[in-house]
Structure formats: structure tokens, C-alpha cells
Amino acid sequence: MAFPQPKPQAPQLPQHLLRTIDCQQGAVRAVRFNADGNYVLSCGSDKSLKLWSVSQGTFLKTYSGHGYEVLDADGSYDNSQICSCSSDKSVILWDVATGQVTRKLRGHAGKVNCVQFNEEATVILSGSIDGTVRCWDTRSRRFEPIQVLDEARDSISSLKVAQHELLTGSVDGRVRRYDLRMGQLHVDFVNSPITCVCFSQDGQCTLSSSLDSTVRLLDKSTGEMLGEFTGHKMKGYKLDCCLSSKDTHVLSCSEDGFVYCWDLVEVCSPLCFKVLNTRLINTFSSESCLFPPGVFVLKAASGKSGCPVPGLPPLRDLPPHSHGGAGSGVGGGA
């Protein structure tokens, strides 16, 4: 008589909360680590961008200049510049030390959802509700984009840059990978609005989350589906997902207020843990460079109503109140 095989156990990660920061920015739309993981940027619905020390949890500087809520930000590799985007249709380049606006870039026809430097911080790439990705030269005095990518049929919700490749996710349900060096475009159709995209750490795969409450791992070269991760709730809001520093775990925000974690290889139920006392976790950033191998830092933030995906009605089962703030937790094993 054969005994049934035991079910694989969920990944066991410590869930110790190190620090909670009250950003006092209203709803926190995004939290982003800088290049070395020593600082974090928080984007607020109060039109402000704030810089914090990770180790001390102390406030360092406020960057004010946007006309509406700040939706995303990124720091340059040398920590001298910050770029940010907003619902006011603009992209701003900041001097970190002085807090002054270096350049304000306009050209998008609608709010700008995502922004990132290239590796040398010579180009800013921004994705908008107008369905375009615009590339801006940070060294030029010109205010026009040097290139416009307009292949998407709907809003650009997420973008990631890695060396000569650009990965974008759109509400049209497509993940697009641009090889900027070769001038090639590769498209994977998911058939559900995309909320977040990213590359794996080894550069061989792409990860995308969509509004069918599914996170998908795809082979970058062939588009083959390598894994689907479910159990979380993602029906109407732009929520983040990512891979851990060693590509061992997949993490995703959820509309039920938990962060979900799946083992990349083992087929098992996800580990879900409450990061903040709220019913919506909309953004996080994962970083491991400050801590010993096998340890990761997770920054999570919540907003009053999250950031609805354009064209979709807001969720009605979420309460109107929330806690605007960012929490920080450390766990091992990622």
C-alpha cells in the first residue's frame, strides 16, 4: 500500500517587523530603494516626494514641485539625482543634495504612472496613461524626448530597464520587451491588464502581475510560461510584484492587506503575512545589499484607496479609511 505524498510546505520566512515610518504624505503610492539600499524614497498623494534613511528610519528631505500626487520615483546609480513622475503629466529630475528641480519634462498627454533611469542615469524612461513610453536625455538642454515608444494600445502601468533591454506592462494585457541595442520588440500576451513587470535577477525570465489575481513567470527568450502564482487578490488596483534577490521566491502585494510569498520551484501554498494594519498593500520594494546573504528587506506601503488601474472602477469592498505610511520588515531565506 502506497502512502500519499505529503503536501509541500510553504516557504518559512521570519516575519519580524523592524520599523514603521509614518510618512505623513496621505496615501503612499510607491516606495523605492536607492542604488545601494541605504535610503528609500516614498511617493505621496500630497504631491510630495520624501527621502528616508533605512537604517535609522529618519526623515532626510522633502522634494516639492509636482502639481498632483507623485506616483513613482527612481534614484541614479551615484545617488546624486532623483527622477519622479506624477498625475500632473510631468517627469521631474531633482538634485538630491539641494532638493531643487533640475529639469521638468512635459510631453505626455496624461498622468505618468512609472519612471526609471537607465544604468548610467543618462536617460529617463517614463510610461503614461497615454500608452507611450518616452525617453528623455538627462544631459541635453532640449525638453523633447529623444524617442517615443507607442506600440501599446492602452495605459503603460509598469516599466523596468536592464542594460540594453526595456520591459513594459500595459493595461492592454501585453508584456513588451524592447531590445534597444538591436531595435527589436518581443510581445507576450497575458489576456489580463498588467499591473507590474520586472526581470529576474539572472536576466533569463520576466515576472508580471495582472488583474486576474495571477503572477506569471515567463521565459524571456521564448515566452514560455514557467509558473503561475495565485492565492492573492488583485482585481482593480495597480499592485507591485517582484522576485527575491536570489530568484528563490516570488512576492506580491494584495488587496486583502497581505504580502504573499511563493517558493519559485516548489508547488506549495503561499506564505502570506500582514505588513501593516490596513486592507490594501499596493507597493513594496525588495533589497538585500545591506544585509548578510539569505536576508532580505521588504518595504511596504498602503494608501487610502490604492491606485486604481485606469479604465477600471475602484473596488467597492475596501473601506474609505487607511493608514498612510511605510513599514519595514526583515526576513531570512530569500
Q: How far is CA 309 from CA 59, 111, 205, 211, in A?
A: 30, 12, 25, 9
Cell numbers for 65: 514641485
Q: What is the pLDDT, as a whole number, of residue 6? A: 56
Q: Does domain 42-273 have CATH number 2.130.10.10?
A: yes
Domain locations in the chain? 42-273
Q: What does DSSP say about strands 283-287 and 112-117: parallel, antiparallel, or unpaired? A: unpaired
Buried b (16+ CB within 10 A) or exposed e, 52-81: bebeeeeeeeebebbeebbbbbbbbeeeeb
64 strand-pairing partners: 48
Q: What is the pLDDT, as a whole number, of residue 288? A: 39
Is the distance from CB of 33 to CB of 40 less than 8 angstroms? Answer: yes
pTM of the model: 0.82
101 vs 116: CA distance, rounded Å: 17
Per-residue pLDDT of the chain (334 residues; tens, 9 = 90+): 455 555 555 455 556 667 777 888 888 888 898 888 889 999 999 999 999 998 888 999 999 999 999 999 999 999 999 999 999 999 999 999 999 999 999 999 999 999 999 999 999 999 999 999 999 999 998 889 999 999 999 999 999 999 999 999 999 999 999 998 999 999 999 999 999 999 999 999 999 999 999 999 999 999 999 999 999 999 988 889 999 878 888 999 888 888 888 988 876 788 887 765 555 555 555 543 333 333 344 455 555 434 444 433 332 222 333 333 333 222 333 3
